[in-house]
A and B are shown apart, each in its own frame.
Chain A
Amino acid sequence: MGDGIDCRWTPLARHLMKDYVSWGRYPKAIPAAVHRVHWTDELLPNTTCSLLPYGNGRSYGDSCLNDGGVLLDMRDLNRMLSFDRSTGVLRCEAGVLLADILVLAVPMGWFLPVTPGTRFVTVGGAIANDVHGKNHHRTGTFGQHVLGMALRRSDRGIVLCSATENTELFHATIGGLGLTGVILWAEIRLRPIANHAVDSETIRFPNLDAFFDLSSESDRDYEYTVAWVDCLARGNALGRGLFMRGSHAAPQERLPAPSGRTRSFPVDMPFPLVNAWSLRAFNNLYYRKQLARVHRSITHYKSFFFPLDNILHWNRLYGRRGFLQYQCVVSPESAKESVRALLEAIATARSGSFLSVLKVFGNRFSPGLLSFPRPGVTLALDFPNQGRRTLDLLDQLDRIVASAGGAVYPAKDARMSGEHFLQYFPRWKEFQRHIDPRFSSSFWRRITTRI
């Protein structure tokens, strides 16, 4: 297929190229060409440029971008291959969206073992970033539920890998950032559910200590836990927020309907709607959104897991300059102090976002060599791109994370230094051996320039 994609691009092609951005729309990277993969038996395109699979572009930074190289658009490789209704084992092509799996599986009583905060990611992307969800303390990462997969490599053709076959490559590919070859299909084990509802509770908490108490209490009894924090609150109120916990509901007489219709954020805002004033107003109001301290409800899984998916293109809110997302994890030993230090730095800078999220990761180790989740506490939030000012703040956060034995999530990164990456991901050397010689990404070049 596609013999001889050369590395030039014509003005005509520009129109399509602009669709290939990451979710934060920062940094900008223009591929030399895009090759859409339709079939698992297709050979890799014949080009001298480097290659990188592109899932659904839901990574925020540059890990799904390949400036000057060729992107392999995986979204047409989206067929369901088999599903065993008695065991919940699904085999599907790598471009299938998690949303499609839910449409297929939920009516049959099965659910994704791990769901990130959006269902519009591909299976290949979920594996390549070894994504996590609100149930990390129970079930670990997405990669831990992958039974096997087929990988196309430029040097070895199709390679099947699993926990028992080509094991090292399997482990390198889980969280492998798309660099170990193209995932063609994967087999994953779903988990059974009684219905599509989630039995959930939202609890207001006044400060960081209360968050830690609620977490340790809830992680025992609830499958899903996560907290929204008011990233502008300071002093005694530092770390205040809303704690959400839930489990798949028991059989119910009346099931909730999916919430509201989907809207789309229509245009790029000429100026970002996120500023110090709107942030303060939102955070204050959101903290008080429920009258009672505890609010219990049986909700549709979509409202519980994917509140943001109802607003398509919400990233346009940040305007043309885009935004930077920051997600880190800090080790359990010093978690309280480090999270406090991080929140203080953010509140002092009066930056940050509407949605800041805090969660305790469990003692679940993924086999992925570059997997981000590890025991500790994770904080995620986005920052409107204000240039130097934002980058300096993030560097400051990085120093706190590095000294707390933590890590920053590559899926959400556009700026971490190579030195920090090597420190955060000590198994990178082992990983490097498995990189496909023809593959590279903007992210990988950025963090390895000084290795």
Chain B
Amino acid sequence: MRHILIIGATSAIAEVTARRFARDGDRLYLVARNPERLESVASDLRLCGATQVETMVMDVNGTDRHVEMIAQAETVMGGLDTVLIAHGTLSNQQACEASFKETLRELQTNCLSVISLLTHVANCFETKKRGTIAVISSVAGDRGRKSNYVYGTAKAAVSVFLQGLRNRLYRSGVNVITIKAGFVDTPMTADFCKGFLWASSEKVGNGIYRSIQRKRDEVYLPWFWRWIMLVIRLLPEGVFKKTNI
């Protein structure tokens, strides 16, 4: 039985993954901002078969509470071996261009809060010499584009941070997974027009569950993004700067 901490547990993608854990009878500790939504997710997971579901309402930008939150999760579940970090906001690029304050806030939510969580979780798992850390990053972090480079910057930093962490924790037997998600139809992207590249939260959430089971390192979800991003990364900057993607 796993003892799982999920940050951003009200995320549409994380909810799908959590249901898989619940059906396995795992113990879950859920963290999110909105108390009513969090409670409805928790009730559902309890009925799905989870052995234990506990919740904590928290804005992850309150980084000084992270240590306490992780300790609390470990205490009430009687252990902690898996962490899924799923929270995030899709930055308003124009607003960020106009205001550094806005940019800072987005970097705070999508990058710094994640780095703070990872710092504490990594130390905790390193001493135990086991554990799995999975973080939802994004293909947007693979190359900066004018349409969302602030969000992309945050995700790129998270991806690089995870690479380093994976390298460091390898010797301690801790598995670090970077989930590079493509376009997913969730509340975060509600206002977008969806085309053929879009995936459902079921598909991506289930992919995360499988990646955790198979102890993967870096996964693109759905898989074809690996090849799309390979091409996009290979474009020379002189060409790329003229594109509109």
Q: A15-B195, A36-B185, A39-B37 are in contact. Are A81 and B190 (CB under 8 A)?
A: no
Interface presence of B9 (CB below 8 A): no
A16 with B190: CB separation less than 8 A: no
Proximity string of chain B (194-214) to chain A, C-beta cutoff 8 Å, 1 when within and 0 when not: 111010010000000000000
Interface presence of A390 (CB below 8 A): no
List of A residues within 8 angstroms of B187 by Cβ: 1, 36, 38-39
List of B residues within 8 angstroms of A80 by Cβ: 43-44, 47-48
User: How near does chain A come to B17, taking the closest CB pair, in angstroms?
Assistant: 15
Interface presence of A258 (CB below 8 A): no
Q: A1-B187, A38-B187, A39-B37 are in contact. Are A79 and B194 (CB under 8 A)?
A: no
22 examples of A-B residue contacts, CB within 8 angstroms: A1-B187, A9-B193, A10-B193, A13-B195, A15-B194, A15-B195, A16-B194, A16-B198, A36-B190, A38-B12, A38-B186, A39-B187, A40-B40, A41-B34, A41-B36, A41-B37, A79-B43, A79-B44, A80-B48, A81-B40, A81-B44, A82-B43
Interface presence of A93 (CB below 8 A): yes
Q: A1-B187, A36-B185, A104-B47 are in contact. Are A93 and B193 (CB under 8 A)?
A: no
B190 with A83: CB separation less than 8 A: no
User: How near does chain A come to B95, taking the closest CB pair, in angstroms?
Assistant: 15
Interface presence of A2 (CB below 8 A): yes
Interface presence of B191 (CB below 8 A): yes
Number of residues in B with C-beta < 8 Å to the partner? 21
List of B residues within 8 angstroms of A35 by Cβ: 190
In the bound assembly, the distance between CA atoms of A378 and B194 in angstroms comes to 42
Q: Which B residues fall within an 8 A CB radius of A?
A: 12, 34, 36-37, 40-41, 43-44, 47-48, 185-187, 190-191, 193-196, 198, 201
Interface presence of A430 (CB below 8 A): no
B43's nearest neighbour on chain A, judged by CB, is: A81
Interface presence of A291 (CB below 8 A): no
In the bound assembly, the distance between CA atoms of A93 and B36 in angstroms comes to 13
In the bound assembly, the distance between CA atoms of A421 and B118 in angstroms comes to 62
B190 with A1: CB separation less than 8 A: yes
A35's nearest neighbour on chain B, judged by CB, is: B190
A13 with B193: CB separation less than 8 A: yes
List of A residues within 8 angstroms of B41 by Cβ: 79
A15 with B190: CB separation less than 8 A: no
User: How near does chain A come to B204, taking the closest CB pair, in angstroms?
Assistant: 14
B190's nearest neighbour on chain A, judged by CB, is: A2
In the bound assembly, the distance between CA atoms of A41 and B39 in angstroms comes to 12
List of A residues within 8 angstroms of B185 by Cβ: 36
User: How near does chain A come to B23, taking the closest CB pair, in angstroms?
Assistant: 10
